[in-house]
Structure 1
Amino acid sequence: MRRRTGLATAGAAALVWGEWLNWRWSRALVGSGVGASEAVVVLGYRNPQSTANFVNRWRVRAGIRSVAADGARGTRVIFSGGPTSNGAAEAQLMADYAKSVLEYDGTVLLEDRSATTWENITNVIPLLEGVDRIKIVSQPAHALKARAYLRRQRPDLAARVVRADDYRPGEWMVGKPLLALYGLWTLRGLTAEERKVSL
């Protein structure tokens, strides 16, 4: 009985820890944002099949729900991701899913050359010029890494970054401890300043 209680306590603690870390990451390197126009950047994930995989489908949904509720003037959704093993670009697969399944009919732009997160940011920069607010969508740790890369490459654009709707309490809850562990590993190159929560 004690062992079961101990396992249940450890499991609950892992869930809370994973939730808390993902919450923190979703609030790091973001501002409050002003202005009417926005860009929502959705980062792709390895996609060897000919349609968007589970992770990319979730990222597209999070990207679409990140579009300002007031339908911000000039909102553009940018799908970023290069060719996969089947030849199609992740960006195109995500855009196809957004249009055909989610019936998104807003402005969509594609960045279809990137193979890494650094390249995602480098290649979307020209598409971010002139917008007032920038949202970067992925799992919280990956989105934070991308925001840090934008800050390193273009601090002026990074100052326009606001929170995306890619973190929701309880979403991916069972997987969040694993995402948190993986996130700690992938974010090890970030400075303490880049991990600082923006309140």
Structure 2
Amino acid sequence: KLACRFWDATSGRVTVGGVDVATVNPEVLLGDFSMVFQDVVLFDDTVMGNIRLGRRGASDEEVLAAARAANCDGFVSRMPQGYATMIGENGARLSGGERQRISIARALLKGAPIVLLDEATASLDVENETEIQQALSRLLAGKTVIVIAHRMRTVANADKVVVLDSGRVAEQGAPAGLMERDGLFARMVRLQRESAQWTL
């Protein structure tokens, strides 16, 4: 909310490219952000219409290319009217993973230089998470990425991790350095590794 200027900082500064966001019109600032949230907002429109919200002037070919890159083709091809299928209020006819892939397609279509992922894979099963991680890898290529996550493997390849504890910065650094420091980040990694059988 601070990065996108939904909130203004009460102390300190938030900068993007060295520019204080408090000096930038919020609508202009939002043009530089693509966002993928855990709770996707979709409208009672077609699959194509929902993806096109990323860039309203996009051609059908551009929308379809973004959809393919977000791994949407598989589930959309099973729908009665394909990309012209109405999906219901907030995507009521779709699974959580399908809604998330439409959200990623929308972000791909927008093509903004900064991508904000807020718990984007938190509520997904393993199969859907794999599909979405593939789509995210296409979305994130060459972008500045801000990831908010409780799953430590989500940030395993980050350049920098900031660990928050009760609203304060507990530690920050590269994942490997934080593992060596053996603080809060390392403890969370160990706990999740034991329960989910993954490695950092």
Structure 1 length as normaliser, TM-score? 0.27
* Bigger RCO of structures 1 and 2 (CA < 8 A, at least 6 apart): 1
Greater share of residues in helix: 1
- Per the normalisation by structure 2, the TM-score is 0.27
- Bigger CA radius of gyration: 2
